[in-house]
Amino acid sequence: MMQSVLCSRMSQVLGAALVVSGALLGSASAESLSEHANRGLVELMTGSDAASIAMAQDLAAVIDDGATRRLLPVIGRGAVENIIDVKVLRGVDITIVQQDALLTARDTTLPRLEGSVTYVAKLHNEELHILAPAGIKRLQDLADKKVALVGGAKITATAVLDLLQIKVQPVFDEEGVALAKLKGGEVAAMAYVAAKPSLPGDGLRDAGGLHFIPVPLSPAMANRYVPAQLTQDDYPGLVGGSDGVDTIAVGMVLVAANLTPKTERYQNLANFVDAFFTDLPRLQEQTHHPKWREVNVAAELQGWRRFPPADAWLKRNVVAAAPPVDEQELRDIFARFLDERAKAAGGQTLTAEQKGQLFDQFQRWQHNKPR
């Protein structure tokens, strides 16, 4: 009896399998599985930071339509490595990278890089965090000490410390190792670049007297970075005082490989751009990562070429903002503000050239803000 029941069930399973196989073979005759999986495919390489990964997932959720578009996020090694990959690795179409990493790659590893890649859009800003024990109050206290540089901070923190002429002993570790060394006193500070609020490791449930130290904005940083602040709301227990901790932020950029026009990959990327720019309001809804609300796809990356279909979309759909009524008057007001602030803080008054650099930076920051 049992054998009869088993045979009957086996027949049912085999029958069902034959039906499914027939259906699959039938669909394969119209279109191969490979063709279906690759239709409209765009491969996006992100860094390992949480914001870039989350935003790539948001993009895939909004862009993929199951028929004509597919976005495949992959995690890269970060910073300059991702730029190299989008330039030379087969299959990678776009990558999210730090703006200062682009400049570093151009000036070191990949000369004339601006002629061999394009950008789709400037995205959000990510803040430089420098975490240190109570005995470290300012960046100058790190001179000649070991500092763990994690991820994008290998580029950003190095540039900032060089511009401020503070020499440290850099230690390059993964996040978890760096945090353990910081807590164990093996390094004097840990620097990382991330979209606030973002904590390393286990969320620092046991902060052990750690705090964020300020990163002063100097005129020499104006071409690469924008001012930012870490507040108590962002990091309760790690930021002392209601005024918060000043720092700098680096822009993130969506960079495209140098694809040949009229090829399938080029057209796939053009279709992605159209869907991304058109559906940006959906990405900026509360259900997605908050950094989407910083994105202004019309913001320009000076000195770099935009991917032609992205440029064409903006020319069709975006009306350029009118320039200020009287820029010189705004410059004068801004200069007076800087003088009064320096006087109140007991600091040194800036030169006219330094004030001009900061005003130019302010204009870039204002232009890049979400509308």
Which CATH number goes with the domain that contains 309?
Answer: 3.40.190.10
Other CB atoms within 10 Å distance of the CB of residue 369: 11
Residues 241 and 150 in one domain: yes
- The size of the chain, in residues, is 371
Range of the domain at 227: 126-251
Cross-strand partners of 230: 245
Residues 313 and 325 in one domain: no
- Asked whether residue 7 is domain-assigned, the answer is no
Cross-strand partners of 46: 75
Spatial CA neighbour of 198 closest among 157, 249, 241, 160: 249
- The predicted model gives 248-272 an average pLDDT of 95
CA distances from 132 to 129, 249, 250, 267, 311 (A): 10, 19, 21, 48, 43
> DSSP label at 348?
P
Maximum average pLDDT range among 30-44, 143-157, 211-225: 143-157
Say how far apart CA 214 and CA 73 lie, in whole Å: 34
Residues 107 and 220 in one domain: no
pLDDT at site 240 = 75
- The model's pLDDT over 281-299, given as tens digits with 9 standing for 90+, comes to 999 999 999 999 999 999 9
Residues 107 and 160 in one domain: no
Spatial CA neighbour of 364 closest among 198, 211, 206, 224: 224
Number of domains in the chain: 3
Flag whether pLDDT at 201 surpasses 80. Answer: no
> DSSP label at 91?
T
Say how far apart CA 294 and CA 196 lie, in whole Å: 12
pLDDT at site 185 = 93
- The predicted model gives 98-125 an average pLDDT of 91
Residues 135 and 247 in one domain: yes
Q: Are 179 and 200 in contact (CB under 8 A)?
A: yes
- The predicted model gives 132-154 an average pLDDT of 94
Residues 72 and 164 in one domain: no
- Average pLDDT over the chain, rounded to an integer: 82
Q: Give the domain-ending residue among 226, 251, 276.
A: 251
Residues 226 and 258 in one domain: no
362 vs 221, more confident: 221
Q: Are 191 and 106 in contact (CB under 8 A)?
A: no
Say how far apart CA 313 and CA 297 lie, in whole Å: 10
- Asked whether residue 243 is domain-assigned, the answer is yes
